[in-house]
């Protein structure tokens, strides 16, 4: 990728609607981090999400006592795929809820298919 060339973002499912429901400062953090991703830079807020696939990361940001997560995939063609966005409400501390992991897995498969087309 050449300097200044941005990868387009493809939002899957209801992920854009979910991000829009987040507090303004959280949306700003996510937007800034995704912009870095578009430019090929791993943002400081991002970390690898294990167990889904290569190149799947999550942006975790906090507001008050809540944690918000946005999961994206970058190693699929020429796009950044936003797979899922949610407010973490897992009662088990650090662990991501099973329903959220299942959603991420489904959308990762969908993103892989889109990247092939």
Percent of the chain that is helix, strand, coil (3-state, to 5): 35, 30, 35
Q: Which tens digits make up the pLDDT trace of 11-66?
A: 999 999 999 999 999 999 999 999 999 999 999 989 999 888 889 999 999 898 88
Q: Which tens digits make up the pLDDT trace of 85-117?
A: 999 875 556 677 888 999 999 999 999 999 887
Where exactly are the structural domains of the chain? Answer: 9-116
Lookup result for tokens 């999400």:
49
Confidence of residue 8 (pLDDT cuts 50, 70, 90): very high
Q: Which of 97, 103, 44 is nearest to 71 (CA)?
A: 103
CB 88 within 8 A of CB 96: yes
Model-level pTM?
A: 0.88
User: Which tokens hold the place of 83?
Assistant: 């797979």
Give the CATH superfamily of 9-116: RelE-like (3.30.2310.20)
Helix or strand holding residue 60 (H, E)? strand 56-63
What is the average pLDDT value for the chain, to the nearest integer? 89
């Amino acid at each position: 990728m050449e300097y200044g060339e941005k990868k387009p973002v493809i939002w899957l499912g209801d992920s854009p609607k979910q991000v829009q429901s987040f507090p303004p400062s959280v949306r700003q953090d996510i937007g800034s981090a995704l912009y870095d991703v578009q430019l090929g830079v791993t943002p400081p807020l991002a970390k690898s999400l294990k167990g889904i696939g290569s190149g799947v990361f999550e942006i975790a940001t906090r507001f008050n006592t809540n944690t918000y997560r946005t999961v994206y995939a970058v190693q699929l063609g020429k796009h950044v795929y936003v797979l899922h966005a949610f407010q973490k409400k897992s009662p088990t501390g650090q662990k991501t809820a099973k329903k959220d992991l299942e959603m991420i897995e489904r959308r990762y498969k969908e993103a892989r298919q889109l990247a092939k087309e």
